[in-house]
Amino acid sequence: MRASTAALIVAAGRGTRVGGAVPKQWRPLSGQTVAAHALGAFARHSQIDHLVLVVHPDDRPSQPWPGDTGAQIVTGAATRQGSVLAGLTAIEGQFDRVLIHDAARPCVSAQVISSVLAALDTAPAAAPALAVVDALWQGDGTHVAGTRDRSGLYRAQTPQGFDLAAILAAHRRFDAEAADDVEIARHAGLPVTIVPGDEDNLKITRAADFARAERILGHRMDMRLGNGYDVHRFGPGDHVVLCGVTIPFERGLQGHSDADVGMHAVSDAIYGALAEGDIGRHFPPTDPQWKGAASAIFLRHAVDLAATRGYEIGNVDCTLVCELPKIGPHAPAMRAEMARLMGIGIDRISVKATTSERLGFTGRGEGIAALATVTLASR
């Protein structure tokens, strides 16, 4: 059985060294805040089961945090150590292990997170670091006063991972100032495994770091493509529902839900882009609660799942294949309804129709097919 893991993002500092009126973790960066990028990296990771965001009392929101990651919000303390302890206490006994990460590191990669998690499979603590390769000097401010041996020296990064119970006990026993959570762990006797860090996993400290982070995030944007296909046969009825629009017709579409073939194809395209299966995986047709359900429920679930994983919808292209009813007159209303449900601009939604030249089941008027393509982009 896989160990359960929480990610604790520390965002309670004031970030005064970087300058500006707003703490650095809440300043904009590539369309989001610095903290939102850090949260998103863990929200998208398949092995993270829960997110905790530790914030300053003045920053605590009254509504879900931007990005809709579903993070648990915890009020921090006057020191970083106190804030981490508050976050750990909030999840005590609920998870096997925890990753502690600085919100000021927005460019953390999935590979770094995975490396820490892999090390925790056989160790009580692990953290990423980079070996010091430059010569080290001592100085008096203006002149070199000496040199230091760099052998065995590392630059520490986050996330730093631990057995949850062990690091919580270590924090409760520690009553001095610490450079990071690794120091607290070692003080408690926990051996800490070093895993490879990443030069791009910078901690924003100076104003110039924002420009570097912008370049890293711009280069790293994750684009995904998903395809969906669905079919429903005609049966008794006096209307069909296509892409959320009710169209009077001499027959209806048969299905466990409302048989909105277009919306089903779009939903499956989103699930496919996320590698999350299809509608049947999330809403089994064997479950009677979904009998006759509005397909908008499925679409909203797919869109919300994408947002939770840190993605936004780039565009949607849906093609309906049928002889009748005629789709063209209803396409604008379909686009508008899909845009409303998905929370994106109508200019990102395409709904069009074609026939199969009277070939196959659609050509014989036995049903309607739909194909959809969706793009997702990491935020």
Q: Are residues 115 and 245 in the same domain?
A: no
Q: How many CB atoms lie within 10 A of CB 148?
A: 11
Tell me the helix, strand and coil percentages in the chain, rounded to 5: 35, 30, 40
Domain boundary among 166, 184, 219: 219
Domain boundary among 192, 219, 246: 219
**H-type helices in 76-207, by residue range?**
80-90, 110-120, 164-173, 181-187
Q: How far apart, in whole angstroms, are the C-alpha atoms of residue 135 and residue 148? A: 8
Give pLDDT, residue 235.
95
Collapse the DSSP code of 286 into the 3-class scheme (helix H, G, I; strand E, B; otherwise coil) and give the result. coil
Q: How far apart, in whole angstroms, are the C-alpha atoms of residue 87 and residue 79? A: 13
Q: Are residues 208 and 331 in the same domain?
A: no
Residue span of the structural domain in which 156 resides: 5-219
Q: Are residues 211 and 284 in the same domain?
A: no
Q: Distance of alpha carbon 312 from its chain centroid, rounded? A: 10
Q: Are residues 207 and 282 in the same domain?
A: no
Q: Are residues 204 and 342 in the same domain?
A: no
**H-type helices in the chain, by residue range?**
34-43, 80-90, 110-120, 164-173, 181-187, 208-219, 261-273, 279-282, 296-308, 331-342, 360-363
Distances (CA, A) of 328 to 51, 249, 260, 334, 352: 45, 15, 17, 10, 7
With contact defined as beta carbons under 8 Å apart, do 124 and 186 qualify?
Answer: no
Domain CATH number, residue 69: 3.90.550.10
The tokens for 177 are: 């100032």
The tokens for 298 are: 């499925």
Q: Are residues 347 and 203 in the same domain?
A: no
Q: Are residues 194 and 274 in the same domain?
A: no
Q: How far apart, in whole angstroms, are the C-alpha atoms of residue 245 and residue 252? A: 13
Q: Are residues 32 and 152 in the same domain?
A: yes
Domain boundary among 194, 219, 244: 219
Q: How many CB atoms lie within 10 A of CB 249?
A: 16
Q: How far apart, in whole angstroms, are the C-alpha atoms of residue 158 and residue 105? A: 8
Give pLDDT, residue 57.
87
At residue 246, φ and ψ (nearest 5 deg) are -85, 125
Q: Are residues 297 and 209 in the same domain?
A: no
Q: How far apart, in whole angstroms, are the C-alpha atoms of residue 52 and residue 168? A: 15
Number of domains in the chain: 2
With contact defined as beta carbons under 8 Å apart, do 65 and 71 qualify?
Answer: yes
At residue 239, φ and ψ (nearest 5 deg) are -165, 165
Q: Are residues 116 and 206 in the same domain?
A: yes
* Amino acid in the structure at residue 209: D
Q: Are residues 177 and 59 in the same domain?
A: yes
Q: Per-residue confidence of the chain (379 residues) as pLDDT tens digits?
A: 789 999 999 999 876 666 667 889 999 998 888 999 999 899 888 899 999 999 998 876 544 455 556 799 999 998 999 999 999 999 999 999 999 999 999 999 989 999 999 999 999 999 999 999 999 999 988 999 999 999 999 999 999 999 999 999 999 999 888 999 999 999 999 999 999 999 999 999 999 999 999 998 877 667 899 999 999 999 999 999 999 999 999 999 998 889 999 999 999 999 999 999 999 999 988 888 888 889 999 999 999 999 877 788 999 999 999 999 999 999 999 999 999 999 999 999 999 999 999 999 999 999 999 999 999 987 6
The tokens for 366 are: 């036995």
Q: Are residues 193 and 163 in the same domain?
A: yes
Q: How far apart, in whole angstroms, are the C-alpha atoms of residue 49 and residue 2? A: 11
Domain CATH number, residue 256: 3.30.1330.50
DSSP class of residue 330 equals G
